[in-house]
Amino acid sequence: MSRTDVYGITDTLDDSTLQVLVDRLEARAKHVKFAAMLSEYLEMMRVDAAQHVLDVGCGAGVVARTLARCHRFRGKVTAIDLSEYLVRAGQRLAQAEGVAERIEFLVGDTQQLKLPDAGFDAAIAHTLLSHVEQPLMVLQELRRVVKPGGQIAIFDGDYASITFGHEDPKLGARFDLIVRNAVITNAMVMRQLPRLIAQAGLQVVAFVPHTLAEAGRADYWHSSIQSFRRILPKSGQVSADEANAWADTMERYSAQGVFFGSCNFYSYILRRP
Ligand SMILES: C[S@@+](CC[C@H](N)C(=O)[O-])C[C@H]1O[C@@H](n2cnc3c(N)ncnc32)[C@H](O)[C@@H]1O
């Protein structure tokens, strides 16, 4: 079966679709609730003290740039993504923010990193694991490239929980599944993580659950819904008209103050023994 998750096939997408992803990732990163989840786990893993941090599945470099902008962080970041377009967008944004010299951007597959053993003090996968076919391989690679005692942060959505309220519950449930398939490869990976972490020979230092839910107006979910106009048809599950009709309904609910959208997110802080 061909893959429907657009974020898992970014090395094959056209530039205009990739720009939709960049815009969505930037809007998401700037949202106060999403930014708070990132800050919380960066602080928990005391990443400021690290000399060299690896950001895998970096996209346009949201995590790498956040770290490089942080005045307490004096190290450097290597940021890797499958998509050359996203990496180039990351380089441009880092340049504009004056932090380009602190970040090395590379194109590569996180399931098979072309990086030496034990070269990093810490590694971060910020919404990557739900998009790869072999999450265990990613964990094993991160264990290999992080120094003994080094920390690894795995942050992602529990996308099996993503849901949008709809006056027609059947249609609503159908679109919850369409959305999930269009943007996710492994909707339940964060529930499987305790077992995968043990298999990869890593230890859990901390676990933090979060819920990103909005009732009434769509704020965080607004840019998501806009991106779905383009992404849902691209995934091959619905026509552009169907995707736009669903998105129009969500926007109307938001304007009327009757929107509901929610997804759980989890942060795992791990340690290489
Ligand atoms: C949802 S985006 C997150 C991007 C970034 N971490 C952020 O939060 O803005 C997922 C990213 O993972 C990348 N990706 C997916 N599979 C990958 C793989 N096997 N190796 C490297 N990157 C991958 C995609 O290209 C995409 O940029």
Beta-carbon neighbour count of residue 185 at 10 Å? 20
Contacts of residue 21, Cβ cutoff 8 Å, sequence gap at least 6: 6, 7, 10, 13, 59, 86, 227, 231
**Distance of CA 255 from the midpoint of ligand 1 (Å):** 32
The dihedral built from the CA positions of residue 236, 191, 138 and 26, taken in this order, carries a sign that is positive
pLDDT of 34:
96
> pLDDT digit string (tens) for 62-83?
999 999 999 889 999 999 999 9
pLDDT of 212:
97
pLDDT of 2:
64
Beta strands in the chain (DSSP E): 52-56, 76-81, 103-107, 120-126, 146-164, 203-216, 259-271
3-class SS at 89?
A: helix
**Is there a contact between 53 and 75 (Cβ–Cβ < 8 Å)?**
yes
**Distance of CA 183 from the midpoint of ligand 1 (Å):** 11
d(CA 222, CA 210): 19
pLDDT of 225:
96
| Ligand 1 neighbour 94 (Cβ under 6 A) | no
d(CA 9, CA 82): 8
pLDDT of 48:
86
**Distance of CA 24 from the midpoint of ligand 1 (Å):** 13
**Helices and strands (DSSP H and E) totals, the chain:** 9, 7
Spans in the chain with pLDDT lower than 50: 1
**What percentage of the chain has pLDDT greater than the value 90?**
95
| Ligand 1 neighbour 17 (Cβ under 6 A) | no
| Ligand 1 neighbour 126 (Cβ under 6 A) | yes
d(CA 15, CA 85): 7
| Ligand 1 neighbour 59 (Cβ under 6 A) | yes
| Ligand 1 neighbour 109 (Cβ under 6 A) | yes
**Distance of CA 191 from the midpoint of ligand 1 (Å):** 19
- Pocket perturbation via mutation, ligand 1, pick of 3, 4, 7, 19 by most ligand atoms within 8 A of CB: 7
d(CA 188, CA 29): 23
> pLDDT digit string (tens) for 254-263?
999 999 999 9
Q: Which domains does the chain have, with CATH numbers?
A: 6-160+184-213+264-271 (3.40.50.150)
| Ligand 1 neighbour 162 (Cβ under 6 A) | no
pLDDT of 207:
98
